[in-house]
Amino acid sequence: MFHSWYNKDTDKAESIETLIKHFEEKGSLDVNANQNEELNFTAEEWKEASEIDKEDILLNYRLAYRAETTVNWCPALGTVLANDEVKDGKSERGGFPVYQKKMMQWSMRISAYSERLLQGLKNLDWPQPLKDSQEYWIGKSQGAQVKFLIDGLESGDSENSNDDQQSTINYIEVFTTRPDTIFGATFMVLAPENPLVETITTDAQKAEVENYIEETSKKTERDRMADVKNVSGAFTGSYAINPFSNEKMPIYISDYVLMGYGTGAVMAVPAHDERDHRFAKKFNLEIKKVVETEEDIQEKSFDSKDSVCVNSDFLNGLHYNEAKALIIDAIEKKGIGHGTTNYRQRDAIFSRQRYWGEPVSYLL
Protein backbone atom coordinates (compact mmCIF):
# COMPACT_ATOMS: atom_id res chain seq x y z
CA MET A 1 0.00 0.00 0.00
CA PHE A 2 2.94 2.32 0.60
CA HIS A 3 4.05 1.73 -2.97
CA SER A 4 0.60 2.43 -4.45
CA TRP A 5 -1.62 5.41 -5.25
CA TYR A 6 -5.32 5.56 -6.19
CA ASN A 7 -6.01 6.58 -9.78
CA LYS A 8 -9.55 7.97 -10.06
CA ASP A 9 -9.49 7.65 -13.87
CA THR A 10 -9.00 3.86 -13.71
CA ASP A 11 -10.81 3.60 -10.36
CA LYS A 12 -8.14 1.43 -8.81
CA ALA A 13 -4.78 1.46 -7.06
CA GLU A 14 -1.67 1.56 -9.24
CA SER A 15 2.06 1.39 -8.65
CA ILE A 16 3.60 4.61 -7.39
CA GLU A 17 6.08 4.27 -10.26
CA THR A 18 3.34 5.17 -12.75
CA LEU A 19 2.70 8.38 -10.84
CA ILE A 20 6.40 9.23 -10.75
CA LYS A 21 6.56 8.73 -14.53
CA HIS A 22 3.61 11.08 -14.96
CA PHE A 23 5.32 13.71 -12.79
CA GLU A 24 8.46 13.43 -14.90
CA GLU A 25 6.49 14.03 -18.10
CA LYS A 26 3.70 16.41 -17.08
CA GLY A 27 4.18 17.37 -13.46
CA SER A 28 0.88 17.43 -11.57
CA LEU A 29 -1.11 18.32 -14.71
CA ASP A 30 -4.11 16.02 -15.28
CA VAL A 31 -3.39 13.91 -12.18
CA ASN A 32 -6.76 12.63 -10.99
CA ALA A 33 -5.83 11.04 -7.68
CA ASN A 34 -7.14 10.57 -4.19
CA GLN A 35 -4.86 12.86 -2.18
CA ASN A 36 -4.47 14.91 0.99
CA GLU A 37 -4.32 18.24 -0.81
CA GLU A 38 -4.25 19.43 -4.41
CA LEU A 39 -0.68 20.18 -5.51
CA ASN A 40 0.44 22.13 -8.58
CA PHE A 41 3.92 21.79 -10.06
CA THR A 42 5.56 21.33 -13.47
CA ALA A 43 7.70 18.46 -14.74
CA GLU A 44 10.73 20.72 -14.47
CA GLU A 45 9.96 21.57 -10.85
CA TRP A 46 9.57 17.86 -10.07
CA LYS A 47 12.93 17.02 -11.64
CA GLU A 48 14.68 19.84 -9.79
CA ALA A 49 13.18 18.91 -6.40
CA SER A 50 15.39 17.22 -3.81
CA GLU A 51 14.80 13.57 -2.92
CA ILE A 52 13.33 14.62 0.42
CA ASP A 53 10.89 17.00 -1.28
CA LYS A 54 9.90 14.32 -3.77
CA GLU A 55 9.13 11.91 -0.94
CA ASP A 56 7.00 14.56 0.77
CA ILE A 57 5.06 15.03 -2.46
CA LEU A 58 4.56 11.29 -2.93
CA LEU A 59 3.23 10.96 0.64
CA ASN A 60 0.40 13.20 -0.52
CA TYR A 61 -0.74 10.36 -2.82
CA ARG A 62 0.40 7.04 -1.30
CA LEU A 63 -2.26 4.66 0.06
CA ALA A 64 -0.19 4.34 3.24
CA TYR A 65 1.02 7.76 4.30
CA ARG A 66 2.12 9.91 7.24
CA ALA A 67 0.22 13.07 8.10
CA GLU A 68 -0.61 15.25 11.08
CA THR A 69 -3.81 13.89 12.61
CA THR A 70 -5.83 14.67 15.74
CA VAL A 71 -5.61 11.71 18.13
CA ASN A 72 -6.45 10.74 21.72
CA TRP A 73 -3.17 11.38 23.55
CA CYS A 74 -2.58 10.15 27.08
CA PRO A 75 0.59 11.80 28.51
CA ALA A 76 0.68 9.52 31.56
CA LEU A 77 0.70 6.36 29.44
CA GLY A 78 2.77 7.97 26.69
CA THR A 79 0.52 6.53 24.00
CA VAL A 80 -2.28 7.20 21.54
CA LEU A 81 -5.59 5.56 22.46
CA ALA A 82 -8.56 4.41 20.40
CA ASN A 83 -11.97 5.96 21.13
CA ASP A 84 -13.13 2.79 22.89
CA GLU A 85 -10.13 3.01 25.24
CA VAL A 86 -11.28 6.41 26.56
CA LYS A 87 -14.08 6.75 29.10
CA ASP A 88 -15.31 10.17 30.24
CA GLY A 89 -12.12 11.88 29.12
CA LYS A 90 -9.81 9.40 30.88
CA SER A 91 -7.92 6.29 29.85
CA GLU A 92 -9.76 3.02 30.45
CA ARG A 93 -6.57 1.63 31.95
CA GLY A 94 -5.34 3.72 34.85
CA GLY A 95 -7.91 6.51 34.63
CA PHE A 96 -5.42 9.10 33.36
CA PRO A 97 -6.51 12.32 31.56
CA VAL A 98 -6.69 12.06 27.75
CA TYR A 99 -6.37 15.03 25.40
CA GLN A 100 -7.03 15.69 21.73
CA LYS A 101 -3.64 16.40 20.18
CA LYS A 102 -2.27 16.74 16.66
CA MET A 103 0.51 14.24 15.98
CA MET A 104 2.19 12.69 12.97
CA GLN A 105 0.48 9.36 12.32
CA TRP A 106 0.57 6.60 9.74
CA SER A 107 -2.76 6.21 7.97
CA MET A 108 -4.30 4.07 5.24
CA ARG A 109 -6.19 5.88 2.50
CA ILE A 110 -9.29 3.70 2.74
CA SER A 111 -11.41 6.75 1.87
CA ALA A 112 -10.24 6.27 -1.73
CA TYR A 113 -12.46 3.18 -1.82
CA SER A 114 -15.61 4.82 -0.41
CA GLU A 115 -17.62 4.70 -3.63
CA ARG A 116 -16.51 1.16 -4.46
CA LEU A 117 -17.44 0.00 -0.96
CA LEU A 118 -20.83 1.69 -1.30
CA GLN A 119 -21.56 0.11 -4.69
CA GLY A 120 -20.29 -3.26 -3.48
CA LEU A 121 -22.98 -3.39 -0.81
CA LYS A 122 -25.55 -4.02 -3.55
CA ASN A 123 -23.98 -7.39 -4.32
CA LEU A 124 -23.72 -8.64 -0.73
CA ASP A 125 -26.25 -11.11 0.68
CA TRP A 126 -26.47 -9.31 4.01
CA PRO A 127 -29.50 -8.31 6.14
CA GLN A 128 -30.73 -4.86 5.06
CA PRO A 129 -30.22 -3.27 8.51
CA LEU A 130 -26.55 -4.20 8.33
CA LYS A 131 -26.27 -2.74 4.82
CA ASP A 132 -27.97 0.42 6.05
CA SER A 133 -25.48 0.81 8.90
CA GLN A 134 -22.57 0.37 6.47
CA GLU A 135 -24.09 2.91 4.09
CA TYR A 136 -24.43 5.39 6.96
CA TRP A 137 -20.81 4.76 8.00
CA ILE A 138 -19.59 5.49 4.45
CA GLY A 139 -21.85 8.54 4.46
CA LYS A 140 -22.06 9.70 0.86
CA SER A 141 -23.46 13.20 0.43
CA GLN A 142 -23.64 15.53 -2.55
CA GLY A 143 -23.43 19.29 -2.29
CA ALA A 144 -21.00 22.12 -2.84
CA GLN A 145 -17.65 23.37 -1.64
CA VAL A 146 -17.88 27.14 -1.02
CA LYS A 147 -15.38 29.80 0.04
CA PHE A 148 -16.40 32.64 2.38
CA LEU A 149 -14.02 35.61 2.53
CA ILE A 150 -12.93 36.70 6.02
CA ASP A 151 -13.72 40.36 6.57
CA GLY A 152 -10.65 42.54 6.94
CA LEU A 153 -8.16 39.71 6.48
CA GLU A 154 -6.03 40.31 3.41
CA SER A 155 -4.35 37.37 1.71
CA GLY A 156 -0.80 37.03 2.97
CA ASP A 157 -1.30 39.43 5.89
CA SER A 158 -2.28 38.46 9.41
CA GLU A 159 -0.93 39.99 12.61
CA ASN A 160 -2.44 37.19 14.69
CA SER A 161 -0.46 34.32 13.15
CA ASN A 162 3.19 33.41 12.92
CA ASP A 163 2.49 30.64 10.43
CA ASP A 164 3.29 31.83 6.89
CA GLN A 165 1.13 29.16 5.32
CA GLN A 166 -1.90 30.06 7.43
CA SER A 167 -1.44 33.79 6.87
CA THR A 168 -1.94 33.41 3.11
CA ILE A 169 -5.50 32.17 3.61
CA ASN A 170 -8.18 34.86 3.74
CA TYR A 171 -11.24 32.66 3.40
CA ILE A 172 -13.11 29.83 5.11
CA GLU A 173 -14.04 26.88 2.92
CA VAL A 174 -17.07 24.78 3.80
CA PHE A 175 -18.80 21.72 2.41
CA THR A 176 -22.57 21.91 2.49
CA THR A 177 -25.26 19.51 1.35
CA ARG A 178 -27.75 22.40 1.26
CA PRO A 179 -26.18 25.18 -0.83
CA ASP A 180 -29.77 26.21 -1.67
CA THR A 181 -30.03 27.65 1.87
CA ILE A 182 -26.94 29.88 1.61
CA PHE A 183 -29.01 33.07 1.85
CA GLY A 184 -30.03 31.88 5.33
CA ALA A 185 -26.45 31.46 6.57
CA THR A 186 -26.07 34.03 9.36
CA PHE A 187 -22.90 32.87 11.15
CA MET A 188 -20.05 30.40 10.74
CA VAL A 189 -18.66 27.78 13.08
CA LEU A 190 -15.18 26.26 12.99
CA ALA A 191 -13.92 23.15 14.73
CA PRO A 192 -11.77 24.26 17.71
CA GLU A 193 -8.75 22.46 16.17
CA ASN A 194 -9.14 24.17 12.78
CA PRO A 195 -5.77 25.83 11.99
CA LEU A 196 -7.58 28.99 10.89
CA VAL A 197 -8.70 29.65 14.46
CA GLU A 198 -5.28 30.95 15.49
CA THR A 199 -5.17 33.20 12.43
CA ILE A 200 -8.54 34.90 12.82
CA THR A 201 -8.91 35.14 16.62
CA THR A 202 -8.61 38.74 17.77
CA ASP A 203 -6.57 39.78 20.78
CA ALA A 204 -9.74 40.59 22.73
CA GLN A 205 -11.10 37.06 22.25
CA LYS A 206 -7.83 35.15 22.54
CA ALA A 207 -8.13 34.11 26.20
CA GLU A 208 -11.73 32.90 25.82
CA VAL A 209 -10.93 30.96 22.64
CA GLU A 210 -7.82 29.34 24.12
CA ASN A 211 -9.75 28.28 27.24
CA TYR A 212 -12.48 26.75 25.08
CA ILE A 213 -9.94 24.87 22.97
CA GLU A 214 -8.34 23.51 26.14
CA GLU A 215 -11.70 22.25 27.42
CA THR A 216 -12.60 20.69 24.07
CA SER A 217 -9.27 18.86 23.94
CA LYS A 218 -10.46 16.73 26.86
CA LYS A 219 -13.33 15.26 24.79
CA THR A 220 -13.10 12.52 22.18
CA GLU A 221 -14.80 12.96 18.83
CA ARG A 222 -17.27 10.27 19.85
CA ASP A 223 -18.22 12.29 22.95
CA ARG A 224 -18.62 15.43 20.88
CA MET A 225 -20.86 13.68 18.35
CA ALA A 226 -23.01 12.10 21.05
CA ASP A 227 -23.53 15.25 23.13
CA VAL A 228 -26.32 16.99 21.23
CA LYS A 229 -27.98 18.69 24.20
CA ASN A 230 -25.20 20.83 25.65
CA VAL A 231 -24.45 23.89 23.50
CA SER A 232 -21.11 25.63 23.89
CA GLY A 233 -18.74 27.77 21.86
CA ALA A 234 -16.60 30.88 21.72
CA PHE A 235 -16.59 33.93 19.44
CA THR A 236 -13.33 34.49 17.54
CA GLY A 237 -13.93 38.23 17.12
CA SER A 238 -13.83 37.94 13.32
CA TYR A 239 -16.48 37.95 10.61
CA ALA A 240 -16.94 36.29 7.23
CA ILE A 241 -18.85 37.71 4.28
CA ASN A 242 -21.82 35.84 2.83
CA PRO A 243 -20.98 35.79 -0.91
CA PHE A 244 -24.64 36.17 -1.93
CA SER A 245 -26.25 38.38 0.71
CA ASN A 246 -22.99 40.32 1.35
CA GLU A 247 -23.86 40.36 5.05
CA LYS A 248 -21.25 39.97 7.79
CA MET A 249 -21.36 36.63 9.60
CA PRO A 250 -19.72 36.28 13.05
CA ILE A 251 -17.27 33.36 13.25
CA TYR A 252 -17.46 31.07 16.28
CA ILE A 253 -15.77 27.85 17.32
CA SER A 254 -17.74 24.96 18.78
CA ASP A 255 -17.16 21.31 19.61
CA TYR A 256 -20.15 20.20 17.51
CA VAL A 257 -18.05 20.85 14.39
CA LEU A 258 -15.45 18.16 13.73
CA MET A 259 -12.19 18.70 11.86
CA GLY A 260 -12.36 15.22 10.36
CA TYR A 261 -15.58 15.75 8.41
CA GLY A 262 -15.74 18.08 5.42
CA THR A 263 -13.44 21.06 5.95
CA GLY A 264 -13.80 21.49 9.72
CA ALA A 265 -16.11 24.47 9.19
CA VAL A 266 -19.82 25.00 8.58
CA MET A 267 -21.99 27.79 7.26
CA ALA A 268 -24.68 27.89 9.92
CA VAL A 269 -28.30 28.11 8.73
CA PRO A 270 -30.13 28.09 12.07
CA ALA A 271 -33.64 28.27 10.61
CA HIS A 272 -33.18 24.93 8.90
CA ASP A 273 -30.65 22.94 10.94
CA GLU A 274 -31.32 21.72 14.48
CA ARG A 275 -27.81 22.08 15.89
CA ASP A 276 -27.29 25.47 14.26
CA HIS A 277 -30.65 26.55 15.71
CA ARG A 278 -29.69 25.57 19.26
CA PHE A 279 -26.40 27.42 18.86
CA ALA A 280 -28.14 30.55 17.54
CA LYS A 281 -30.57 30.57 20.47
CA LYS A 282 -27.72 30.12 22.94
CA PHE A 283 -25.71 33.05 21.55
CA ASN A 284 -28.64 35.22 20.41
CA LEU A 285 -27.76 35.05 16.69
CA GLU A 286 -29.99 35.87 13.72
CA ILE A 287 -32.35 33.17 12.47
CA LYS A 288 -33.49 33.80 8.91
CA LYS A 289 -36.13 31.71 7.10
CA VAL A 290 -35.19 30.74 3.54
CA VAL A 291 -37.38 27.64 3.11
CA GLU A 292 -41.15 28.06 3.02
CA THR A 293 -42.87 26.80 6.16
CA GLU A 294 -45.70 27.68 8.51
CA GLU A 295 -43.54 26.69 11.48
CA ASP A 296 -42.17 29.42 13.76
CA ILE A 297 -38.48 29.10 12.89
CA GLN A 298 -37.58 31.31 15.86
CA GLU A 299 -38.70 28.48 18.12
CA LYS A 300 -37.80 25.40 16.10
CA SER A 301 -35.76 24.64 12.98
CA PHE A 302 -37.47 23.32 9.86
CA ASP A 303 -35.45 21.02 7.57
CA SER A 304 -37.19 19.82 4.43
CA LYS A 305 -36.34 19.31 0.77
CA ASP A 306 -40.03 19.18 -0.12
CA SER A 307 -40.59 22.94 -0.19
CA VAL A 308 -39.68 26.13 -2.02
CA CYS A 309 -37.10 28.84 -1.39
CA VAL A 310 -38.06 32.23 0.10
CA ASN A 311 -36.03 35.32 1.04
CA SER A 312 -33.36 34.00 -1.34
CA ASP A 313 -33.19 36.50 -4.21
CA PHE A 314 -32.96 34.62 -7.54
CA LEU A 315 -33.83 31.30 -5.87
CA ASN A 316 -37.25 32.44 -4.67
CA GLY A 317 -40.06 30.08 -5.68
CA LEU A 318 -37.74 27.26 -6.76
CA HIS A 319 -37.98 23.74 -5.38
CA TYR A 320 -34.98 22.00 -3.81
CA ASN A 321 -33.51 20.30 -6.90
CA GLU A 322 -33.92 23.37 -9.11
CA ALA A 323 -32.51 25.70 -6.48
CA LYS A 324 -29.56 23.44 -5.71
CA ALA A 325 -28.55 23.18 -9.36
CA LEU A 326 -28.91 26.94 -9.91
CA ILE A 327 -26.94 27.98 -6.80
CA ILE A 328 -24.10 25.55 -7.58
CA ASP A 329 -23.92 27.06 -11.06
CA ALA A 330 -23.82 30.56 -9.52
CA ILE A 331 -21.11 29.48 -7.06
CA GLU A 332 -18.97 28.16 -9.90
CA LYS A 333 -19.51 31.29 -12.01
CA LYS A 334 -18.39 33.45 -9.07
CA GLY A 335 -15.25 31.31 -8.80
CA ILE A 336 -15.83 30.65 -5.10
CA GLY A 337 -16.46 26.91 -5.22
CA HIS A 338 -17.93 23.97 -7.06
CA GLY A 339 -20.35 21.08 -6.79
CA THR A 340 -18.83 17.98 -5.21
CA THR A 341 -19.44 14.66 -3.47
CA ASN A 342 -18.25 14.03 0.08
CA TYR A 343 -17.99 10.92 2.27
CA ARG A 344 -18.16 10.60 6.04
CA GLN A 345 -15.73 7.67 6.00
CA ARG A 346 -12.21 8.62 7.10
CA ASP A 347 -8.78 7.20 6.53
CA ALA A 348 -7.78 4.55 9.05
CA ILE A 349 -5.03 5.50 11.51
CA PHE A 350 -2.87 2.45 12.21
CA SER A 351 0.01 3.80 14.27
CA ARG A 352 -1.44 3.50 17.75
CA GLN A 353 1.43 2.45 20.00
CA ARG A 354 0.64 -1.02 21.31
CA TYR A 355 3.23 -3.53 22.40
CA TRP A 356 1.54 -6.31 20.46
CA GLY A 357 1.29 -4.30 17.23
CA GLU A 358 -1.64 -3.04 15.22
CA PRO A 359 -4.25 -5.47 13.84
CA VAL A 360 -4.44 -4.36 10.19
CA SER A 361 -5.18 -7.70 8.53
CA TYR A 362 -8.84 -6.80 8.08
CA LEU A 363 -7.79 -4.12 5.58
CA LEU A 364 -5.66 -6.37 3.42
Same domain, 172 and 308: yes
Same domain, 158 and 299: yes
Q: Which domain holds residue 185?
A: 140-343
At residue 85 the predicted structure's pLDDT band, cuts being 50, 70 and 90, is: confident
Same domain, 41 and 172: no
The overall pTM is greater than 0.85: no
| Residue 59 reports pLDDT greater than 50 | yes
| Residue 262 reports pLDDT greater than 90 | no
Same domain, 39 and 181: no
Contact 163, 195 (CB under 8 A): yes
Please give the helix or strand (H or E) that residue 6 lies within, else none. Answer: strand 4-7
Read off the pLDDT of residues 297-346 as tens digits, 9 standing for 90 and up.
Answer: 999 999 988 889 999 999 999 999 999 999 999 999 999 999 999 998 88
Same domain, 56 and 154: no
At residue 224 the predicted structure's pLDDT band, cuts being 50, 70 and 90, is: confident
Residue 314: predicted pLDDT: 96
Same domain, 154 and 259: yes
**3-state helix/strand/coil string of 230-267:** CCCCEEEEEEEECCCCCCEEEEEECCCCCCCCCCCEEE
DSSP secondary structure letter of residue 152: T
In a domain, 33, yes or no: yes
Closest to 188 in 3D by CA, of 298, 283, 69:
283
Same domain, 167 and 310: yes
Read off the pLDDT of residues 313-323 as tens digits, 9 standing for 90 and up.
Answer: 999 999 999 99
Residue 168: predicted pLDDT: 56
Residue that wins the pLDDT comparison between 309 and 93? 309
Same domain, 36 and 154: no
In a domain, 109, yes or no: no
Read off the pLDDT of residues 176-208 as tens digits, 9 standing for 90 and up.
Answer: 999 999 999 999 999 999 999 999 999 999 999
In a domain, 312, yes or no: yes
At residue 161 the predicted structure's pLDDT band, cuts being 50, 70 and 90, is: very low
Residue ending a domain, among 44, 62, 80, is: 62
Same domain, 14 and 159: no
In a domain, 50, yes or no: yes
- Structural domains in the chain (count): 2
In a domain, 119, yes or no: no
For 207, residues 6+ apart whose C-beta sits below 8 A from its C-beta are: none
Read off the pLDDT of residues 97-148 as tens digits, 9 standing for 90 and up.
Answer: 999 888 888 899 999 999 999 999 999 999 999 999 999 999 999 999 999 9
Distance set, CA 17 to CA 60, 62, 67, 250 (Å)? 14, 11, 21, 47
The CATH number that applies at residue 252 is 3.90.740.10
In a domain, 313, yes or no: yes
Residue 223: predicted pLDDT: 81
Residue 164: predicted pLDDT: 42
Same domain, 56 and 200: no
Give me the chain's average pLDDT, please.
89
Same domain, 197 and 50: no
